[in-house]
Amino acid sequence: MTTTVEKPRTGSVPSGAARTGPARARRRPRGDRTHLLFLLPAVALFTLCITLPAAVGIFYSFTDSIGFGEFDFVGLNNYQVLFSDPGILHAYGFTLGFSLCTVLVVNVVALALALGLTSAIRARTALRTIFVVPMVVSQIIIAYVFQFVFTNPLPALAQTLGIGPLEQSILVNPDLAWISIVLVTAWQAIPQAMLIYTAGLLTVPKDLYEASSIDGATPRRQLTTITLPLISGFVLINMIVGFKDFLGAYDIIVGLTDGGPGTATRSITMAIFSGFQNGDYAYQMANATIFFLITLTIALVQLRLTRGKARV
């Protein structure tokens, strides 16, 4: 028996290959075009409202502009004066010190509250709701409420109890005014950090605590050897994000002390805004550019350190 094998015709292409050929591969899927179409408005708004104004501000930082009218280029003169201005250097020192103190207070208290609210206690759901309330209140309203507290009820209570340093409002004391800002800012920021810690604690397997209890581990030992290592990513996120947010503190400081007494509690953002009002537009644009580079560096460090650290 003779078997004949039919050779494929020259130039013929299998039907499957026609669907996966180079021409087909070069086509962009319709879904990708739809995603780009929805992304375009957000990119346009971000460019018009954020990127373009930032670029214009950086341009004016190399001029002597007062915000309108004619101007001349002065090169790096604004930056040279900036690094020798004692008022600006004090504002940077206060902002960095305030941010460090506040982020420590916030994270210690928030972690303690999260540990308590994830333990077997009664009414923990109601307590979570109560502790979250400061997060949804306007910062300026919080500042005015606490300004009244520090000015009237607290000094009166201190006089009754005979606490000398608090008999006068700490808001007018250059050495103590920063404490009020730290306390009020922390009171408003603790709920957000507490929620992040609560989410992190819920990811820790309960079996680890049971096994360590059988081995005789104390609650303190469990905290240092189990809890903190397993939620280290959440701790890192809270520390870096909180520090970056506190660098831009404005509303609470304005409502409490308005940068006073004198300039004792004047932050970088207050210095920038006040300069805009007093005709130092280009000079404060240079200040804003330096501040932007600092916050950008912190944001990049945050992305580098927190990538893949916390997964709920």
pLDDT category of residue 120 using cuts at 50, 70 and 90? low
**Stretch (H or E) spanning 113:** helix 86-117
Shortest CA distance to 61 belongs to which of 292, 269, 287, 294? 287
Q: Is residue 23 predicted with pLDDT exceeding 70?
A: no
Q: What mean pLDDT do residues 263-284 have?
A: 86
Query: 18-37: string of b/e by CB count within 10 Å (b at 16+)?
Result: eeeeeeeeeeeeeeeeeeee
pLDDT of residue 241: 87
Residue 15 included in any domain:
no
Q: Is residue 268 predicted with pLDDT exceeding 60?
A: yes
Quick: pLDDT tens for 61-99.
999 888 788 888 888 999 999 988 999 999 999 999 999
pLDDT of residue 290: 93
Q: Is residue 182 predicted with pLDDT exceeding 90?
A: yes
Q: Is residue 312 predicted with pLDDT exceeding 50?
A: no
What percent of the chain shows pLDDT beyond 90? 29
Residue 230 included in any domain:
yes
What backbone phi and psi angles, to 5 degrees, belong to 63? -125, 180
Residue 47 included in any domain:
no
Residue 22 included in any domain:
no
CATH number at residue 141: 1.10.3720.10
Q: State the amino acid at position 128 in one-letter form.
A: R
Residue 58 included in any domain:
no
Separation CA 59–CA 73 (nearest Å): 10
Contacts of 286 (CB under 8 A, 6+ apart): 61, 62, 78, 79, 82
- For 144, the domain range is 85-306
- Number of domains, the chain: 1
Residue at token pair 């009166």: 156
Q: Is 73 helix (H, G, I), strand (E, B) or coil?
A: strand
Least confident of 35-39, 75-79, 308-312: 308-312
Contacts of 112 (CB under 8 A, 6+ apart): none
Separation CA 167–CA 157 (nearest Å): 8
Residue 281 included in any domain:
yes
Please state, rounded to an integer, the average pLDDT across all residues of the chain: 83
Residue 24 included in any domain:
no
Quick: pLDDT tens for 135-147.
888 888 999 999 9
Distances (CA, A) of 122 to 65, 126, 302: 62, 9, 37
Least confident of 46-60, 110-124, 247-261: 110-124
Q: Is residue 22 predicted with pLDDT exceeding 60?
A: no
pLDDT of residue 28: 56
Residue 19 included in any domain:
no
Q: Tokens in use for 111?
A: 């972690």
pLDDT of residue 183: 94
Quick: pLDDT tens for 278-302.
778 899 999 999 999 998 888 888 7
